Amino acid sequence: MKFDHIDTPAALIDIPRMQKNIARMQAHMNTLGVAFRPHVKTTKCIDVVRAQIAAGARGITVSTLKEAEAFFAAGVSDILYAVSIVPSKLPRALALRRQGCDLKLVVDNPTAAAAVAAFSDQHGETFEVWIEVDTDGHRSGITPEQDTLLEVGRILHENGVTVGGVMTHAGSSYELHTPQALTALAEQERAGCVRAAQRLRDAGIPCPAVSVGSTPTALAAAQLDGVTEVRAGVYVFFDLVMHNVGVCALEDIALSVLATVIGHQADKGWAILDAGWMAMSRDRGTSKQAHDFGYGQPCLLNGTPLAGYVVSGANQEHGILSSAEEGVQADDIAERFPIGMKLRILPNHACATGAQFPEYHAVSADGESVEWRRFQGW
Amino acid sequence: MKFDHIDTPAALIDIPRMQKNIARMQAHMNTLGVAFRPHVKTTKCIDVVRAQIAAGARGITVSTLKEAEAFFAAGVSDILYAVSIVPSKLPRALALRRQGCDLKLVVDNPTAAAAVAAFSDQHGETFEVWIEVDTDGHRSGITPEQDTLLEVGRILHENGVTVGGVMTHAGSSYELHTPQALTALAEQERAGCVRAAQRLRDAGIPCPAVSVGSTPTALAAAQLDGVTEVRAGVYVFFDLVMHNVGVCALEDIALSVLATVIGHQADKGWAILDAGWMAMSRDRGTSKQAHDFGYGQPCLLNGTPLAGYVVSGANQEHGILSSAEEGVQADDIAERFPIGMKLRILPNHACATGAQFPEYHAVSADGESVEWRRFQGW
């Protein structure tokens, strides 16, 4: 690995690991016979998305209109904006469609559906809208048996808006940690979304797409009858939260933060790193899981995890590396981690950590790296 | 307030509140008879820093070399880079000094001191270095009575490096919440730093600057004898953590996130916002304090806090607004917070929340707003 020229802290992508993760997910989707629409909110990076498309992805999912605008400008046209639309955002959506972007919107309530219908009519533009379904109670969406589902479908369909399908995200999968529980939730997610589609169709409302997904349920799904496509985001890098969920090994995690040892408090067993929470993010997703990784898992430059050590604390630009065992102090901390030593820190949550950086350093198998830009904001 | 043209989520600066916060801190520094060197890591925004300098600040403190480069390019020359330097970062520091930047470095160990001395000698550049002192045990620095203090001073002084002073940061002040405890810690910070300076001077090592500070200790300090300057950062905006520490009112908090209601789960008492953790940051600093504000305190557009409500949960682009009382469900959530309604959310930690945005919308007393850029990265 040739990292001498990279100032720290820096976000590294291990390209071989990333390609393995992409291939694994795509192969599973191919086996299940569904299309795959990666969620690009994890990376906000066209270089990563090109690798996902090259592996077989069809279209992308975005979490912001800025992502839609940036990826459309980079040549991706089939885009699902997977956050319920509000009237104030319709002009930007209209501008994208008028430029030729195949942008699909999402709603989960009659007010937003009526607003899209009125706006479509006013501007003579036929929007395509997918209806968000709630299959696990963790956030947004209409549950499959609610009357509101048909009400929303009718408002759209009867007012000339194309109902493109239904979509759901079983985000509560992040709270699970056994294959059995994940497979059961994947089936719940599938069955609920298929049921919602069936109710719409039975009411005479077309519903071509049935879209489900989260990284854990996508990987755990045993069958996806009735589903047309799957969405997942964080699988492309994985992270320590996903490791605790049980869907990846530490050695699969493709994102790490390159950091330098800048000091010690030897009497406390601390080495001080130049990667604090500004680099790692404030995400402490593993704090509620079986294995709490603090602010991250230190590894050698070759990617080997340093068992027994953790980034136990963080200020804005300072991280504290110490023994991972509570009450145990690392006596040889200054010898083991001398000033100037570089380490790679695996993050709790790749979406949050990546967002702290304006660029990734993408590292090939031969140790050479190139800069891949990512963007920020809305 | 005229927010219709601002897409959400967006970071808003209330300029009158910011100016009041700046004036309050500067007046206190003037009364104490010390110079004030604001820490610009909070905002990374030249428009804010210009207001601080206009009010009387002398020089700035930075947490990254990118901040030093950006603010020097914008015309600020007196810059303290307050994170212990490592050899790999010296070339960028050298480039800044050669361009005329009065950049001061910080070390807290003999290895880094020797590296600066060797690099200075090799390049014929006289660096100025301040020694970091540990006055509260929370992070980096050398305690005032340690032999290492004089060892580091001698390595620098005897090898032609200018010892510019000593600096300390009593960051453990964030864990306190009474005026008495804050004033006591401010005195501990002052006394420890002055003592370190005295030991260096007694050993024949010049030590002109004695620099202390954190927002809570700066505001609580009763006297600063022997101190030449104070540093503080978050006071410019304040935030919910600072409110819990007891150094500001909710009505002083100058940073908020403008958000839109995008949905409801009425049977759970939830309104869904388009400000999730990507906008608010993952910082949950109030979770360990007396009043846990979740992911933020919702306010009306005029800035009035909505007592009884909180952003209780967050996904990447979804926030959950609900009753602040545990076990209490807001029955009229959809009527109270209709789709499309805009709110302002006060953040836990202004440094973390600001960092999620490429720009601020700075709002004047007349409700007009202008865009102020901020930057990201290292």
From B201, B233, B265, give the residue that closes a domain.
Answer: B233
Q: Which residues of chain B have pLDDT under 70?
A: 1
Sign of the dihedral defined by the CA atoms of residues A196, A198, A202, A206, in that order? positive
Q: How far is B150 from chain A (nearest CA, A)?
A: 17
CATH of the domain at B327: 2.40.37.20
pLDDT of A189 above 90 = yes
Cα A201–chain centre separation: 31
> If pLDDT is split at 50, 70 and 90, which confidence band does A66 have?
very high
Q: How far is B275 from chain A (nearest CA, A)?
A: 11
Q: Is A240 on the interface with B (CB under 8 A)?
A: no
Closest-CA residue to B311 (of B339, B340, B354, B346): B346
Instruction: Look at residue A329 and tell me if it is in a domain.
Output: yes
Percent of chain A surpassing pLDDT 90: 97
From A189, A207, A234, give the residue that closes a domain.
Answer: A234
Q: Do B86 and A340 touch (CB under 8 A)?
A: yes
Closest-CA residue to B337 (of B353, B352, B321, B326): B321
Using DSSP's 3-state secondary structure scheme, residue A79 falls into strand
Alpha carbons B36 and B81: distance in angstroms, whole number: 15
Contact A266, B267 (CB under 8 A): no
> What distances in angstroms separate CA A44 from CA A47, A320, B176, B213, one per listed residue?
9, 29, 39, 37
Residue in B with minimal Cα distance to A111: B339
Cα B78–chain centre separation: 18
Instruction: Look at residue A240 and tell me if it is in a domain.
Output: no
Instruction: Look at residue A168 and tell me if it is in a domain.
Output: yes
Beta-bridged to residue A287, according to DSSP, are: none
Closest-CA residue to A60 (of A47, A73, A41): A41
Q: Do A111 and B339 touch (CB under 8 A)?
A: yes
Instruction: Look at residue A89 and tell me if it is in a domain.
Output: yes
B 153-192 near A (Cβ less than 8 A): 171
Instruction: Look at residue B25 and tell me if it is in a domain.
Output: yes
Tens of pLDDT, residue by residue over B302-328, are 999 999 999 999 999 999 999 999 888
Q: Please give the radius of gyration of chain A, using alpha carbons only, rounded to the nearest integer.
A: 22
> What distances in angstroms separate CA B145 from CA A192, B138, B142, B151, B337, one per listed residue?
67, 17, 8, 12, 58
Closest-CA residue to B373 (of B44, B64, B79): B44
> What distances in angstroms separate CA A348 from CA A218, A255, A276, A280, B294, one per listed residue?
20, 10, 13, 8, 20
Instruction: Look at residue A220 and tell me if it is in a domain.
Output: yes
Question: Which residues from chain A sit within 8 angstroms of residue B134, using beta carbons?
Answer: 265
Total of domains in chain A: 2
Using DSSP's 3-state secondary structure scheme, residue A342 falls into strand
Residue in A with minimal Cα distance to B281: A282
CATH of the domain at A77: 3.20.20.10
Beta-bridged to residue B80, according to DSSP, are: B61, B104
Question: Which residues from chain A sit within 8 angstroms of residue B64, using beta carbons?
Answer: 317
Contact A38, A237 (CB under 8 A): no
Among B8, B65, B263, whose Cβ lies nearest the Cβ of A109? B263
Q: How many residues does chain B have?
A: 378
Please give the full DSSP string across B297-311, using - where no structure is assigned.
EEE-TTS-B-TTEEE
Closest-CA residue to A14 (of A1, A5, A31): A1
Does residue B177 share a domain with residue B59? Answer: yes
Tens of pLDDT, residue by residue over A261-320, are 999 999 999 999 999 999 999 999 999 999 999 999 999 999 999 999 999 999 999 999
Instruction: Look at residue B150 and tell me if it is in a domain.
Output: yes
Does residue A322 share a domain with residue A219? Answer: no
Does residue B272 share a domain with residue B142? Answer: no
Give the tokens for residue A113.
Answer: 């559906």
Strand segments, DSSP code E, in A242-287 are: 255-265, 270-273
Among B140, B277, B351, whose Cβ lies nearest the Cβ of A316? B351
Q: Is B114 on the interface with A (CB under 8 A)?
A: no
Closest-CA residue to A111 (of B76, B98, B337): B337
Residue in B with minimal Cα distance to A348: B282
Does residue A165 share a domain with residue A51? Answer: yes
Q: Which DSSP letter does residue B376 get?
A: -
Does residue A230 share a domain with residue A131? Answer: yes
User: What is the maximum alpha-carbon separation in chain B?
Assistant: 72
Does residue B270 share a domain with residue B225? Answer: no
User: What is the maximum alpha-carbon separation in chain A?
Assistant: 72
Q: Is A267 on the interface with B (CB under 8 A)?
A: no
Q: Do A7 and B89 touch (CB under 8 A)?
A: yes
Closest-CA residue to A239 (of A363, A349, A353): A349
Does residue A255 share a domain with residue A224? Answer: no
Question: Which residues from chain B sit within 8 angstroms of residue A357, using beta carbons?
Answer: 376-377
Question: Which residues from chain B sit within 8 angstroms of residue A108, using beta carbons?
Answer: 263
Sign of the dihedral defined by the CA atoms of residues B244, B249, B254, B260, in that order? positive
Tens of pLDDT, residue by residue over A203-213, are 999 999 999 99
Alpha carbons B251 and B299: distance in angstroms, whole number: 10
Q: How far is B88 from chain A (nearest CA, A)?
A: 7
Question: Which residues from chain A sit within 8 angstroms of residue B265, using beta carbons?
Answer: 134, 139-140
Instruction: Look at residue B180 and tell me if it is in a domain.
Output: yes
Q: How confident is the model at residue A2, as a pLDDT?
A: 78
* DSSP run (H or E) holding A319: strand A319-323
Q: Is B41 on the interface with A (CB under 8 A)?
A: yes
Does residue B277 share a domain with residue B224? Answer: no
Q: How far is B323 from chain A (nearest CA, A)?
A: 16
Q: Do B260 and A317 touch (CB under 8 A)?
A: no
Q: How confident is the model at residue B81, as a pLDDT?
A: 98
Cα B369–chain centre separation: 23
Residue in A with minimal Cα distance to B11: A377
> If pLDDT is split at 50, 70 and 90, which confidence band does A1 have?
low
From A179, A208, A234, give the residue that closes a domain.
Answer: A234
Does residue B161 share a domain with residue B28? Answer: yes
Q: How far is A86 from chain B (nearest CA, A)?
A: 6
Using DSSP's 3-state secondary structure scheme, residue A46 falls into helix
Does residue A268 share a domain with residue A225? Answer: no
Q: How confident is the model at residue B327, as a pLDDT?
A: 86
Tell me whether residue A365 is exposed, middle or buried, using C-beta atoms within 10 angstroms of its C-beta: 0 to 12, 13 to 18, 19 or more: exposed
> What distances in angstroms separate CA B130 from CA A57, B39, B103, B208, one per listed residue?
54, 16, 11, 10
Please give the full DSSP string across B74-134, using - where no structure is assigned.
TT--EEEE-S---GGGHHHHHHHHHTT-EEEEEE-SHHHHHHHHHHHHHHT---EEEEEE-
Does residue B258 share a domain with residue B171? Answer: no
Does residue A309 share a domain with residue A229? Answer: no
Domain that holds residue A94: 16-234
B160-178 per-residue burial string, b: 16 or more CB within 10 A, e: under 16: ebbbbbbbbbbbbbbebbe
Residue in A with minimal Cα distance to B108: A263
Who's near A240: CB < 8 A, 6+ residues apart? A250, A253, A285, A286, A291, A293, A296, A297, A346, A347, A348, A349
Q: Is A88 on the interface with B (CB under 8 A)?
A: yes
Contact B296, B239 (CB under 8 A): no
Q: How far is B317 from chain A (nearest CA, A)?
A: 7
- Long-range Cβ contact pairs of B179-185 (< 8 A, separation 24 or more): B179/B220, B179/B246, B182/B216, B182/B217, B182/B219, B182/B220, B182/B245, B182/B246, B182/B247, B183/B220, B183/B221, B183/B222, B185/B136, B185/B216, B185/B217, B185/B220
Alpha carbons B16 and B303: distance in angstroms, whole number: 12
Residue B24, Ramachandran bin (φ over 0: left; ψ between -120 and 50: alpha; else beta): alpha
